[in-house]
Amino acid sequence: MRLTRALVEAFERWREADIQQIARYGLHPSEFDVLVHLGIEQPQKMGDLAEHTLLTKSNCTRVMKCLEAKGMAHRERGPESDREVLASLTPEGQALFERVYPVQYEHLKSLFERGLSEPEQEQLIQLLRRLAADE
């Protein structure tokens, strides 16, 4: 129970700081997650986008609708199939990504560096991946 509690407490503290930072960009964390994935690689199939983000397929669609309403992203049918839907950023969305991604990266880096050295961060990554493994 102590391990579970420590993991949850660390996550909640980190997540609150992350949510506050992302809100400064006028985005919800789910919107920022999609913005980052599309900013790095686009277009993406909606199914692939849902797999690479922390969202379910239905939530990914909902988040894309929000980003579309804000003029940050758009969806279109793929050239290979009418069932395939591709997601991309608009020029405004791409500009926002390019402006805020470096800021967010430094923000997260500072959060982790306050409590852990780089070798400790690497060790924690390996430990958490072991916990997450299905084996």
Residue range 8-66, pLDDT digits in tens = 898 898 888 888 989 999 999 999 999 999 999 989 898 889 888 877 777 888 999 99
Place 134 in a pLDDT band, splitting at 50, 70 and 90: low
Q: Mean pLDDT for the chain? A: 89
Q: 93 Cβ partners below 8 Å, 6+ apart?
A: 35, 38, 39, 67, 71, 72, 73
Domains delineated in the chain:
2-132 (1.10.10.10)
Q: Is the pTM of this model over 0.85?
A: no
pLDDT at 114 over 70: yes
How high is the pLDDT of residue 99?
A: 94
Residue 13: left (phi > 0), alpha (psi -120 to 50), or beta? alpha
Place 102 in a pLDDT band, splitting at 50, 70 and 90: very high
